[in-house]
Amino acid sequence: MPGSVAERGAFIVFEGCDKSGKSTQCSQLVQRLNDAGVKAELLKFPDRTTTIGKMINSYLQQSCQIEDHAIHLLFTANRWEAMPRMTELLQSGVTLVVDRYSFSGVAYSAAKPDFSVEWCQQPERGLLRPDHVFYLTLSPEVAAQRGDYGTERYEKKEIQAKAAANFDLLKDETWTVINADKTKEDLSTEIFEHAMKVVDSSKQAELAQLWL
Ligand code: Z5A
Ligand code: MG
């Protein structure tokens, strides 16, 4: 109808350190939203399927070296290349549930010596701003009960601790901090109830840009 504003989808991000259950909860949320009649899709960063994503994958699997600033910019570029499709999906009414985003980009790069949060944020400025971030927290002791760290580059206790401290610096009013030391089912119910409110409140809101 001319002049009418179509309802857009919500942009929901999950963040947190290794093994906090992000991927598990992202899948569950998409399933629950779809079951409730809300069109929702799952996206994940890094998206290891693109040309840039394949370089990131090799770096994370430690099969190549990439200079620290350069890899930071590749993680960011991997988000920029997704912007046209994400914008189109959101504007067509699809809710996006996104497993890690710019906050991981900043938290992990700024955990490296001589990197500041401000420097790391700069190339992320202007990306789509999430409507809501669910930040899953887990103590290192409980995380350890979920199995050993894998062999990927940042899967080390010290880096995870620094990243967690950096996540704390990035929180704002759009974040909900969730203690992830609960059953998968309990967590999923808590998150779904909150997410439905975000879906409702985002319908008429303008899409915004991050850190501008
Ligand atoms: N990185 C970066 O540097 N810059 C960037 O811009 C971005 C990322 C976007 C790869 O990320 C690395 O890239 C990451 C940050 C960096 N490095 N680190 N760390 P990834 O997202 O691909 O990493 P992953 O392999 O998916 O691991 P993860 O995300 O840390 O795990 P998770 O998704 O949080 O957890 P999960 O896979 O859902 O669950 C882990 C295990 O715990 C599994 O066995 C589950 O069955 C179990 N689990 C889950 N929930 C529960 C509960 N509630 N109770 C008990 N057990 C549970
Ligand atoms: Mg994951």
For strand 11-16 and strand 95-99, is the pairing parallel, antiparallel, or unpaired?
parallel
Ligand nearest to the CA of 25: 1
Distance CA 128, CA 130 (A): 6
| pLDDT level of residue 113 (50, 70, 90 thresholds) | very high
Look at residue 147 in the predicted model and tell me its pLDDT: 85
How far does the centroid of ligand 1 lie from the alpha carbon of residue 200, in Å? 28
| pLDDT level of residue 5 (50, 70, 90 thresholds) | low
Q: Cβ neighbours of residue 171 under 8 Å, at least 6 residues apart?
A: 135, 177
Closest Cα to residue 177, out of 191, 198, 161, 197? 191
What pLDDT, in 10s, does the model give residues 151-171?
A: 899 999 999 999 999 999 999
Name residue, tokens 């601790």. Answer: 161
- Contact yes or no for 193/141 (Cβ under 8 A): no
Does position 2 have pLDDT exceeding 90, yes or no? no
Look at residue 3 in the predicted model and tell me its pLDDT: 45
Rounded to a whole number of angstroms, the CA Rg of the chain reads 17
Does residue 72 sit in helix, strand or coil? helix
Distance CA 23, CA 62 (A): 22
List all residues whose CB is within 6 A of at least one atom of ligand 1. Answer: 16, 18-24, 45-46, 60, 75, 100, 104-105, 108, 146-147, 154-155, 182-184, 187
What pLDDT, in 10s, does the model give residues 13-43?
A: 999 989 999 999 999 999 999 999 999 999 9
Look at residue 148 in the predicted model and tell me its pLDDT: 82
How far does the centroid of ligand 1 lie from the alpha carbon of residue 6, in Å? 35
Distance CA 170, CA 183 (A): 27
| Residue 183 exposed, middle or buried by CB count within 10 Å (0-12, 13-18, 19+) | exposed
Percentage of residues of the chain with pLDDT beyond 70: 98
Q: Cβ neighbours of residue 90 under 8 Å, at least 6 residues apart?
A: 8, 9, 10, 11, 96, 128, 207
Closest residue by CA, ligand 1 atom 53: 184
CA atoms lying within 13 Å on the CB side of residue 38:
28
Looking at the predicted complex, does its ipTM rise above 0.85? yes
Q: From 13, 79, 104, give the residue whose CB has the most ligand 1 atoms within 8 Å, as the site to mutate.
A: 104
